[in-house]
Structure 1
Amino acid sequence: MKAIREARGISLQQLARQIGRDPGFLSKVENGQQGAGDGTLHRYAEELNVPIEAITHEEIPRDQERPGSPHRSHPH
């Protein structure tokens, strides 16, 4: 998550403000010290303009893959 955010040039404080979350909370989520709810994860992915799977590392079922999207063969 953090690497994607940083690659987009968005600060933790900026993203936290955009999605209405505390920067300390997001920092813990990014560092794997705390979980986040689906709503927060979806807003995070939306602000970074990435699919939710990019930040959750969940595999997309083959029948739901978008054309041209890379398929992960394993979740990590």
Structure 2
Amino acid sequence: MGVKPDGPAIRRIRRAQNLGLRTLQKLTGLDRGYLSRIERGLIHDAADQRVQTIADALQVKRVAITQEEKT
């Protein structure tokens, strides 16, 4: 089962860290086009592991980049 990524949050965090999409691609091993689609909100359901990989690369908790309940 997948999770709903928060694309704008991913983009804000990435930009705050002065990372380009190419750098995030290198850090995650995920396709740059895929990362761009996530950031633009075009991917509404992503695999848990992919979201965790992005969170790890950005050094944030997964809840910071998903639309899960923040408890």
TM norm structure 1: 0.72
Match of 1:38 among 48, 57, 60: 48
Structure 1 runs of 4+ with >2 Å offset: none
Compare relative contact order (CA 8 Å, sep 6+) and give the higher one, 1 or 2: 2
In the other structure, the counterpart of 2:23 is 14
In the other structure, the counterpart of 2:6 is none
After TM superposition, the structure 1 = structure 2 runs for residues 56-71 of structure 1, keeping only pairs within 5 Å, are 56-61=66-71
Q: Which runs of 5+ in 2 are unaligned?
A: 1-9
TM norm structure 2: 0.77
The CA deviation string for residues 42-76 of structure 1, in whole angstroms up to 9 with x for no partner, is 01001111110000032244xxxxxxxxxxxxxxx
Partners in 2 of 1:57 and 1:25 — Cα distance?
A: 18
Number of paired residues? Answer: 61
**Greater fraction of residues in strand:** 2
SS of 2:46's equivalent?
A: coil
Q: Which runs of 5+ in 1 are unaligned?
A: 62-76
Aligned pair 1:29/2:29, yes or no? Answer: no
